[in-house]
Amino acid sequence: MTTRDLNGKNILITGASRGIGHTLAIELADTGAELILVSRGREALEELKAEIEGRGGKATALCADFSDPGAVFSLAEEIKALVPCLDVLINNAGQALSAPIEETGPGDWDRIMTINARSPYFLTQQLLPLMEASEIKTVVNIASVVATQGYPLQSAYTMSKHALIGFSKSMARELQERGYRVHVISPGGVNTQMVSGVRPDIDTDELIQTEEIAAWVLFLLQNCRNGMVDHIQIRRESKLPW
């Protein structure tokens, strides 16, 4: 198997300040990748940047609030001015919502769809020209098991992640001949603040750890030959198989 060298590659991670994004940033920094870290919280971003640099890594921190429909376009312009080429885009930023259908208002629905579906769509669209010259141009979209399982009280969240998978499928076929690799990872419950807020009933000891998700992302980015993985679904060990 050919192992891809990520040293010096420009990798963008959204939702980088906590949870999966935070762990992923630390793991990727150790490969020598040059990271562009995006999140809405400046203080947490700067702390992460300092942690990475303290380990000898390289990172740039950019703030963007994806609940603002225009944020991705401003962010894309910042990134275009920052690097001549982007190698990997990881659309990880997301927000959950737990509410009955009858209590999910238009404002809630719009916010969840803007963050989880609209933002990765247009951020990817705007950054494709920047990725075109890369030898390893790769998009990784972090979806969720809810996209295919459809859990109660998560209709808007489920809809947004289902849309993200649909976008990924279409994009993968559209860009295949141009050498792009498009991957989707759909985790079950992960030990993050977001999951704890939506499902406080779950024992955190049973949840998937962020390090496990980061390991799968690194596998996708570092290992490539003739085999191609489109979609990885990861369940909690305590859940029923299949």
Overall domain count for the chain:
1
Query: Does residue 196 lie in a domain region?
Result: yes
Domain with 152 in it: what CATH number? 3.40.50.720
CA distance 42 to 235: 32
Mean of the pLDDT values across residues 39-44? 94
Q: How far apart are CA 111 and CA 160, in angstroms?
A: 10
Report the 10 Å Cβ neighbour count for 228.
Answer: 12
Confidence (pLDDT) at 201: 74
| 36 within some domain | yes
Tokens of 64: 């963007």
* DSSP H or E segment with residue 91: strand 88-91
Active site residues: 157
Task: Indicate whether 242 belongs to any domain.
Answer: no
Task: Check residue 192 and give its pLDDT.
Answer: 82
Decide if pLDDT at 82 tops 60. Answer: yes
pLDDT given at position 1: 45
Does position 225 have pLDDT exceeding 90, yes or no?
no
- The pTM for the full model equals 0.94
More reliable by pLDDT, 22 or 238: 22
Domain contains 1? no
- pLDDT tens-place string over residues 127-161: 999 999 999 999 999 999 999 999 999 999 999 99
Residue 175, domain member (yes or no):
yes
> What secondary structure letter does DSSP report for 117?
I
Whether residue 154 is contained in a domain is answered as yes
| Per-residue pLDDT tens over the stretch 176-223 | 999 999 999 999 988 887 666 666 777 777 899 999 999 999 999 998
Phi/psi region, residue 116 (left: phi>0; alpha: psi -120 to 50; beta: rest), is alpha
3 domain residue, yes or no: no
User: How does pLDDT run across 91-114, given as a tens digit for each residue?
Assistant: 999 999 999 999 999 999 999 999
Q: What is the mean pLDDT of residues 69-80?
A: 97
Q: Which domain holds residue 214?
A: 10-234
| Reduced DSSP (H G I as helix, E B as strand, rest coil) percent helix, strand, coil of the chain, to 5 | 50, 20, 35
Return the structure tokens found at 157: 């969240």
For the cut 50, the answer to whether the pLDDT of residue 165 exceeds it is yes
Q: Is the residue at 4 inside a domain?
A: no
Predicted confidence (pLDDT) at residue 56 exceeds the cutoff of 60: yes
Please say if the pLDDT value at position 40 is more than 80: yes
Share of the chain above pLDDT 70, in %: 96
